[in-house]
Amino acid sequence: MTSLPFLLYLPLLLLLPQLSHPGATPEPKQNLTLNMKPEPSSTYIVHVHHLAKPSHFATLGHWYTSMVATHSPRPVADHSTRILFTYDTVLHGFAVKLTGDEARRMSDAEGVSGVHEDRQLHYMTTRTPGFLGPDPGFGAWRDTDFGDSVIIGFVDSGIWPESPSFSDSELGPARPSWRGKCVGAEDFNASLCNNKLVGARAFYDGLSPTPRDWFGHGTPVASTAAGSEVRDAGFHMFARGTARGVAPKAKIAMYATGVMAWTSSIAAAIDAAVKDGVDILSISIGKEVPLPFYNDTVSIAAFGAERAGVLVVFAGGNHGPKASTVDNAAPWMTTVGAVTVDRMFPAKLNLGDGTVLTGHSVYTMKANGTNMVPLVINPCSEKTLTPDRILGKIVVCIFSLEHKDEAQDGGIDSLQRAGAAGLVQVYISSWSPDDLSSDLLLGAFFPGLSLSYTAGQNLRAYMVSEPYPVASLSFACETVINENRAPMVASFSSRGPNLVAPELLKPDVIAPGANILAAWPVNPLLPEFLNSMYRLSYGTSMATPHVAGVAALIKKKHSNWTPAMIRSALITTAATLDNTGREILDNGLIDTSDNAKVSSATPFAAGAGHVRPQLAMDPGLVYDAGARDYVDFLRALNYTTEQLRLFAPDMATCTRELPGGAAGLNYPSFVVFFDGRTDVRTLTRTVTKVSQEPESESSDVINLDGL
């Protein structure tokens, strides 16, 4: 073991105003008849200190039922039927329908550590394995037999088992210790599982719960991490080639949480996955606003999963490029941001003055752009896309990401009904979108393209200078690779600093998350062009399974490594340079005062950098940590004993002081803040040598601009 000191300087000013609003008390009225309705019930998650179970209860289940009957009396014969889920592996407790008053009473019950109201979370929605680096002939794939026999669990919307990406050709059965199962539903026969899909269950309370993916999220996510090899895959004529997951021989277990993704369902899915024996968990789900870890049931469940030896990979969120939006940011969570890849689908807008602007399009019919038609700017709402305004014209829709929540509800169908000749999407924003072709997926059979910020500025200049602007569209319907700088941090990828634990750097790493070709559900109710078996998807949802796949390869090679060791290998071997050998750029913020220059990505956008599978197989040194270290970390955040019991009831009363505070956690990265009393902080790290070869290590301290 070797201890290495590090210093980093970063100031912080944090102001949290508190507002209070006094209320007025009305005078009582006499002889008033009230028709009082019963208080509505909601789902609550009751966290229980299971070690405090009274001895006269035979099981935890009997204890939970007694709690419900005592603190939430209802005229029912069996109170156990009111319990939706019980948790007994990664956390302890149950989910139950309660009124607000009942929930308050339950929180005061003996043995209850906390009561959290259920929350709805959100899903963070062939080239990429090659872009990451694995190659069939050498490196990570060869050394790990493509991740054979490793089981990746997915907590997601479900799966489309008939996809070729889930074929089990040449795969053997799951290991004897595997406890997962396939549970059928009206639209999902359990026999659809095979030696690739080794588990499929639904974990949500609703009509006809099913493991089948009717949402189009779990299917592309699972195929990205562990899809089998499929030749000549593509979205119509785009991105054609051999599609495969990052760990194409790994096995898949789907824990479906439906379209709504409630916290109670996600916790139940994680609990079951760990009990079944998954090796890796991939969860592309997050919140709108980060929560304290003690108030985040998913974070508590992830703690239990890591303690059980399961690495959990989470999406960092799609709320960029604003600062302090990164989610799923606990040290026991591997947090992933998204980057672009070196693949483009070019199309051209030919202006009347001879200027040619290159954009992105997935329009499926070739055109040479010989017919010039009028260009017209339109707000692109349902009310303004009318024939009198756009018939026979190319419509220019201008978007500003600063106001991206404003209604621009006109779709491709509105353009077609009104007889538009084409569509150009332009972004006039200091935030540069990089998911341009994804915006046009619904335009696969309507002529249109998207322009970047710079090209959009050129188009605006032409339209301002020309009283009767005209243009034509050219489509080659081709895929171009290796001609653009990549990776770049995607504009939508959530950024740090970490609001919940400011001295913990998040995201951890970045991975491909824009224009990812992945399997897609074939839904007869959808329009024809969406029924391609593969589709282009984007979001940190798609970056997450890339990292989960790499983690599966590491797990295959180093089966005895802890989750922290695998995470350390991912972080310490990540790349900070792009495919041109220059610093990775942040595509989320353009310097409009400097010829639209794109700035280099900071660690708050890129974490440690772009994941590199081959190097992660042999990191040389790793930073290890376990449940005890994480409890000490939480104590350094001033968590109370009762809050610590939510994570580790057996460790809550015997914590140690962490030298250096929260930044002293043995983590591969850190952020240091200063309170003005000193300009020196000393932090210690302990590394474990995992290589058979001699190692020499060096460290660099890189200041952010202006500090």
Active site residues: 156, 217, 541
d(CA 392, CA 386): 11
From residue 200, alpha-carbon distances to 61, 121, 190, 544 in Å are 25, 21, 8, 20
- Kind and range of the H or E element at 255? strand 251-256
CA–CA distances in Å: residue 417 to residues 171, 410, 420, 421, 505: 50, 11, 8, 11, 50
Quick one: DSSP state of residue 83? E
Smallest CA-to-CA distance from 685 within 632, 616, 621, 623 is with 623
8 A C-beta contact, residue 133 and residue 613: yes
Amino acid at 616: A
HEC readout, 497-549: CCCCCCCCCCCCEEEECCCEEEECCCCCCCCHHHCCCEEEECCHHHHHHHHHH
Structural contact between residues 90 and 270, judged by C-beta atoms closer than 8 angstroms:
yes
* Contact between 132 and 511 (Cβ < 8 Å): yes
591 DSSP β-pair partners: 597
Give the number of C-alpha atoms closer than 13 A to the C-alpha of residue 225, restricted to the C-beta side. Answer: 37
Strands (E) across 582-664 are located at: 585-591, 597-600, 621-622
Do the Cβ atoms of 147 and 624 come closer than 8 Å?
no
* Angstrom distances, CA of residue 332 to CA of 519, 566, 580, 669, 693: 29, 11, 33, 13, 29
Distance from C-alpha of 224 to C-alpha of 336, rounded to nearest angstrom: 14
The closest alpha carbon to 502, from 601, 398, 399, 638, belongs to 638
Look up tokens 């491709």; give the residue: 412
| CA distance from start to end of the chain | 33
User: In the structure encoding, which two tokens stand for residue 100, read together?
Assistant: 């607000």
CA distances to 138, 372, 376, 468, 502 from 471, rounded to whole Å, are 49, 5, 10, 10, 50
Do residues 195 and 171 touch, judged by C-beta distance below 8 A? yes
